C-alpha cells in the first residue's frame, strides 16, 4: 500500500524520534497479517490485550451479513477492562481522569477513585431498578459525572444513550422516546462562556413530551434553583450518601454482542437514528486504534477536546484511554473563554502530550493570531490530531507550525459514529499530505466507487465505501434493522456506504470531500436537514421548509433555510429572529439557521421530494445540473 516511490504532492515526513518509538512500527506487516486472516488477527489482538470472562467461540460470524457479529459467545465487560483490571496493577494510583472546569476548578480521579465512584453509582442505578439491557438517557455537560454515569451503566449491563448537552427540547424528547428510557441522568446546568445552559429546565420540558421516564437523577453543578418534581427527581449527591451506594456490586458479565450504548446521529432524511454498539468489538477496536494512531505510552497525558456526548468523546475521552490505562483530560467550557489561550494554558499547565481536536476549533483559534499560543510553553506536545471534517491545508499548516512547532505529526483521522473508531488515518510514521486522511488502518478495506459500483481511477471523485467488516462496526439501528440494511448496505449490495465522497490519489492516499447525503456538518457537528426542517415547520407560521449547508470559513458549513409561510403570515425581520430562536429551542443552538429566506415555492421532484441540490446550486450561483426530475 505505502509505495516506496517518492510521494506526489506536498509531503511532510515525520521526525525520526517519533517513528522509532511507534506502538505499531510496521504498517505493512500488520496490514498483510490482516489481509491474510482478518478474523485471526483481530482474535489474536483481542486475546492478548484484553481480559475475557469466557472465551468466544467464533471471532467473526458473517453468516447473517450485514448483521455481522464479533467474538461470538465471549463473556466480557468493557468496564472490567477499562477500570477493574487496572486496579490489580500500579495503575491503581495513576490519574485516570483529569478534569478542569470553566472556573478553573479542578478534580482528578485515580483509577481506584474512578472505579469506586462508578461502583457506587452503579449500585444506585440498580437500586433505582435499572437492569441489564435497560436504556438510560444521559444529558449532561462536560463534568466527571458524565463519565461516571456512562461507566456505571455499562458496568451493570445497562445501555447508555448520551444526548449531547448542546441539543435542546425536541431533540432530547425524540431520543428519550425512541430509546424508551425509564431513567434519565442530568445536571442542574452547565457552564458555557460564563453563562448557564439550563439542562434541567430543558429536561423538564422534554419530559412533558415523553412519558416513559420515571426517575431523573440530577447532578448539582451550577447551583441555581431548579424545579425538582416530587417522586421523580432525585439529587445525585443525596443518592450517593445512601447506604446502598456503599455496597460495591461486581461488574456484570455480559455477552460480547450485548449492547453497550446507543448514540443518535443524523442520516439521509427522517428522524435521527440510534446507532448501536456492543461491548466486545467496540472495546477491541477503539483501544487498538487509539494505541496505534496516537501511540499512547504510560506517561502520556492525552487530551481529546471533544464532548463526551458525541462518538469522539465516547471512544476517545472515555473508553479508549481508560482501556489503555492512560490519563485522559476532560474540560468544561469553550476554547476562547475567558481568553483565546484557554487550550494552550491547559496544555502547558497539565503537560498535555497528545492533543486531539477538530478543524473548526483550529480555524476558530487561528483567527486570534499566533500571540496567544506563543505565550505558552507547548513543548510537552508530541502528536496532534484532527477529526470531524476535512481539514483545509491552511489550518493544517497553522496547527503544525504554531502549535506543533513542526515537531508533531498531525493524525487526520477519518471515521464516523457508525464505525466507532478510526478507519482512515495516518500512523505516527506515515508521511503526511495536508488535507488527506492518508491511508486505511491495517485491516480496514476501503474503495471509491462510481454510480455503477466500479472503482474510479486516481484523483476521480466517487462514493467512499468499506468492503470488509471491522470489530467496532455498528450492529444495527436500534429498533429498525430494515433501515440499517437499507441505509448502509443496499446502494451497493454487500458494501458499507459511508455517505461520503472521496478521491484516491496516485499514492493511494484518500482525500475525503464531504457528505453526499442530506447531512450538514456545522462546526463538525452532524445535523440532518430533516431535523432542522421539522423544527421549522413545527412553528405555526411555517408551512414548508428546506435547509441547505452553505460554506463558512470557521464553521465549515452554516445552515441556510428557506420557508414557505402559512397563509396570511407576514414575512418580517422579527419573524426571522423568532424562527431562528425556535430552532435553537427545539433542536439546539448548533442547528440555528444562519439565514432564513421566505419563498413562495421550493424546487421539488414530481414525487414531491425537495431538491436541496438545486437550492444549493442556486445559492452558490452554480449550474443547477440535471433538472429533468423537477416538477413544473
Ligand atoms: C462524518 C462522520 C468521527 C467522529 C466525529 C464525527 C466527516 C469525520 C473526518 C476527517 C474528513 C471527516 C465525514 C464522516 N469526517 N472525520 N478526518 N476528514 N471528513 O462523527 O458525527 O458520525 O460524522 O464526519 O463526513 O462521514 P460523525
| 100-118 tens-digit pLDDT | 999 989 999 999 999 999 9
Q: Which of 389, 412, 497, 513 to mutate to test the pocket of ligand 1 (most atoms within 8 A of CB)?
A: 389
Q: What is the CA(440)–ligand 1 centre distance, in A?
A: 14
Q: Is 286 in the pocket of ligand 1 (CB under 6 A)?
A: no
Q: Assess whether pLDDT exceeds 90 at residue 625.
A: no
pLDDT level of residue 631 (50, 70, 90 thresholds): confident
Mean pLDDT, residues 453-467 taken together:
98
Nearest residue (CA) to ligand 1, atom 17: 414
Write down the pLDDT at residue 447. 98
pLDDT level of residue 246 (50, 70, 90 thresholds): very high
Helix (H/G/I), strand (E/B), else coil: 316: helix
What's the pTM?
A: 0.97
Q: Is 390 in the pocket of ligand 1 (CB under 6 A)?
A: yes
Instruction: Round to whole Å and give the CA distance between 294 and 430.
Output: 12
pLDDT level of residue 358 (50, 70, 90 thresholds): very high
Q: Assess whether pLDDT exceeds 70 at residue 360.
A: yes
Q: Is 466 in the pocket of ligand 1 (CB under 6 A)?
A: no
Q: Is 86 in the pocket of ligand 1 (CB under 6 A)?
A: no
Q: Which of 388, 432, 526 to mutate to test the pocket of ligand 1 (most atoms within 8 A of CB)?
A: 388
Nearest residue (CA) to ligand 1, atom 1: 416
Write down the pLDDT at residue 216. 98
Q: At what angle do helices 38-49 and 27-36 cross, to 10 degrees?
A: 120
Count how many Cα atoms sit within 13 Å of the Cα of residue 582 in the half-sphere of its side chain. Answer: 19
| 176-235 tens-digit pLDDT | 999 999 999 999 999 999 999 999 999 999 999 988 999 999 999 999 999 999 999 999
| 23-52 tens-digit pLDDT | 999 999 999 999 999 999 999 999 999 999
Instruction: Please state whether beta strands 273-278 and 259-265 pair in parallel, antiparallel, or not at all (unpaired).
Output: antiparallel
Nearest residue (CA) to ligand 1, atom 24: 388
Q: Where are the beta strands (DSSP E) in 516-570?
A: 519-522, 525-528, 542-552, 556-565
Dihedral angle sign, alpha carbons of residues 454, 459, 464, 468: positive
Q: How far, in whole angstroms, is CA 616 from its chain's centroid?
A: 27
Write down the pLDDT at residue 524. 93
| 53-97 tens-digit pLDDT | 999 999 999 999 999 999 999 999 999 999 999 999 999 999 999
Q: Residue 621 gets which letter from DSSP? A: T
- Cβ atoms of residues 414 and 435 within 8 Å: no
Mean pLDDT, all residues of the chain: 96
Q: Assess whether pLDDT exceeds 80 at residue 262.
A: yes
Q: Assess whether pLDDT exceeds 60 at residue 581.
A: yes
Q: Residue 579 gets which letter from DSSP? A: H
| 279-324 tens-digit pLDDT | 999 999 999 999 999 999 999 999 999 999 999 999 999 999 999 9
Nearest residue (CA) to ligand 1, atom 13: 389
Write down the pLDDT at residue 505. 98
Instruction: Round to whole Å and give the CA distance between 155 and 248.
Output: 11
Q: What is the CA(312)–ligand 1 centre distance, in A?
A: 10
Phi and psi torsions of 377, nearest 5°? -85, 105
Mean pLDDT, residues 561-582 taken together:
97
Write down the pLDDT at residue 632. 59
Give the percent of the chain with pLDDT over 90: 94
Q: Is 500 in the pocket of ligand 1 (CB under 6 A)?
A: yes
Q: Is 487 in the pocket of ligand 1 (CB under 6 A)?
A: no
Give the percent of the chain with pLDDT over 70: 99
Write down the pLDDT at residue 475. 98
Nearest residue (CA) to ligand 1, atom 14: 416
Write down the pLDDT at residue 1. 45
Q: For residue 413, which atom of ligand 1 is closest to its CA?
A: 17
Instruction: Round to whole Å and give the CA distance between 99 and 615.
Output: 45
Write down the pLDDT at residue 4. 62
Amino acid at each position: 500500500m505505502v509505495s516506496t516511490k517518492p510521494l506526489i504532492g506536498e509531503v511532510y515526513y515525520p521526525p525520526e524520534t517519533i517513528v522509532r518509538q511507534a506502538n505499531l512500527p510496521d504498517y505493512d506487516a500488520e496490514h498483510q497479517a490482516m489481509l491474510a486472516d482478518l478474523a485471526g488477527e483481530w482474535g489474536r489482538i483481542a486475546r492478548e490485550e484484553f481480559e475475557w470472562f469466557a472465551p468466544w467461540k467464533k471471532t467473526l460470524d458473517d453468516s447473517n451479513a450485514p448483521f455481522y457479529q464479533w467474538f461470538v459467545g465471549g463473556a466480557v465487560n468493557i468496564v472490567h477492562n477499562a477500570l477493574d483490571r487496572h486496579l490489580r496493577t500500579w495503575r491503581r494510583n495513576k490519574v485516570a481522569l483529569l478534569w478542569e472546569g470553566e472556573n478553573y476548578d479542578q478534580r482528578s480521579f485515580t483509577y481506584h477513585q474512578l472505579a469506586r465512584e462508578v461502583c457506587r453509582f452503579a449500585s444506585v442505578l440498580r437500586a433505582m431498578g435499572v437492569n441489564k439491557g435497560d436504556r438510560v438517557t444521559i444529558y449532561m455537560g462536560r463534568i466527571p459525572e458524565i463519565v461516571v454515569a456512562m461507566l456505571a451503566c455499562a458496568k451493570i449491563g445497562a445501555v447508555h444513550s448520551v444526548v449531547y448537552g448542546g441539543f435542546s427540547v425536541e431533540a432530547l424528547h425524540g431520543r428519550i422516546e425512541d430509546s424508551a428510557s425509564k431513567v434519565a441522568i442530568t445536571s442542574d446546568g452547565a457552564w458555557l462562556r460564563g453563562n448557564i445552559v439550563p439542562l434541567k429546565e430543558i429536561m423538564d420540558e422534554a419530559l412533558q413530551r415523553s412519558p416513559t421516564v420515571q426517575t431523573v437523577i440530577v447532578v448539582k453543578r451550577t447551583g441555581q434553583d431548579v424545579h425538582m418534581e416530587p417522586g421523580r427527581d432525585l439529587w445525585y449527591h443525596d443518592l450517593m450518601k445512601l447506604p446502598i451506594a456503599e455496597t460495591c456490586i461486581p461488574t456484570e458479565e455480559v455477552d460480547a454482542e450485548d449492547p453497550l450504548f446507543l448514540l443518535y446521529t443524523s442520516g439521509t432524511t427522517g428522524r435521527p437514528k440510534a446507532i448501536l454498539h456492543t461491548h466486545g468489538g467496540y472495546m477491541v477496536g477503539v483501544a487498538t486504534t487509539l494505541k496505534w494512531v496516537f501511540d499512547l505510552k504510560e506517561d502520556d497525558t492525552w487530551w481529546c477536546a471533544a464532548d463526551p456526548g458525541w462518538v469522539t468523546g465516547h471512544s476517545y475521552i472515555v473508553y479508549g484511554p481508560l482501556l489503555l490505562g492512560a490519563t485522559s483530560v476532560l474540560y468544561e467550557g469553550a476554547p476562547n473563554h475567558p481568553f483565546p489561550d484557554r487550550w494552550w494554558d491547559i496544555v502547558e499547565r497539565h503537560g498535555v502530550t497528545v492533543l486531539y481536536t477538530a478543524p473548526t476549533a483550529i480555524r476558530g483559534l487561528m483567527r486570534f493570531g499566533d500571540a496567544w499560543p506563543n505565550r505558552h510553553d507547548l513543548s510537552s506536545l508530541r502528536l496532534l490530531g484532527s477529526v470531524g471534517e476535512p481539514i483545509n491545508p491552511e489550518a493544517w499548516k497553522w496547527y503544525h507550525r504554531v502549535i506543533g512547532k513542526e515537531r508533531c505529526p498531525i493524525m487526520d483521522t477519518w471515521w464516523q459514529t457508525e464505525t466507532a473508531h478510526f478507519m482512515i488515518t495516518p500512523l505516527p510514521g506515515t508521511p503526511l499530505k495536508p488535507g488527506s486522511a492518508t491511508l486505511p488502518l491495517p485491516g480496514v478495506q476501503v474503495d471509491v466507487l462510481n454510480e455503477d459500483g466500479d472503482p474510479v481511477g486516481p484523483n476521480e471523485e466517487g462514493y467512499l465505501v468499506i468492503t470488509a467488516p471491522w470489530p467496532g462496526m455498528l450492529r444495527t439501528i436500534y429498533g429498525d434493522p430494515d433501515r440499517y440494511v437499507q441505509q448502509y448496505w443496499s446502494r451497493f449490495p454487500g458494501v458499507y456506504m459511508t455517505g461520503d465522497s472521496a478521491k484516491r490519489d496516485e499514492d493511494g492516499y484518500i482525500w475525503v470531500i464531504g457528505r453526499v447525503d442530506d447531512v450538514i456538518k456545522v462546526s463538525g457537528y452532524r445535523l440532518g436537514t430533516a431535523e432542522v426542517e421539522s423544527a421549522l415547520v413545527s412553528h405555526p407560521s411555517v408551512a414548508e421548509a428546506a435547509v441547505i449547508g452553505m460554506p463558512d470559513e470557521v464553521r465549515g458549513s452554516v445552515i441556510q433555510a428557506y420557508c414557505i409561510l402559512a397563509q396570511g403570515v407576514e414575512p418580517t425581520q422579527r419573524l426571522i429572529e423568532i424562527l431562528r430562536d425556535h430552532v435553537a429551542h427545539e433542536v439546539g443552538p448548533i442547528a440555528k439557521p444562519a439565514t432564513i429566506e421566505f419563498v413562495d415555492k421550493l424546487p421539488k421532484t414530481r414525487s414531491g421530494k425537495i431538491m436541496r441540490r438545486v437550492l444549493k446550486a442556486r445559492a452558490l450561483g452554480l449550474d443547477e445540473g440535471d433538472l429533468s426530475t423537477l416538477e413544473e
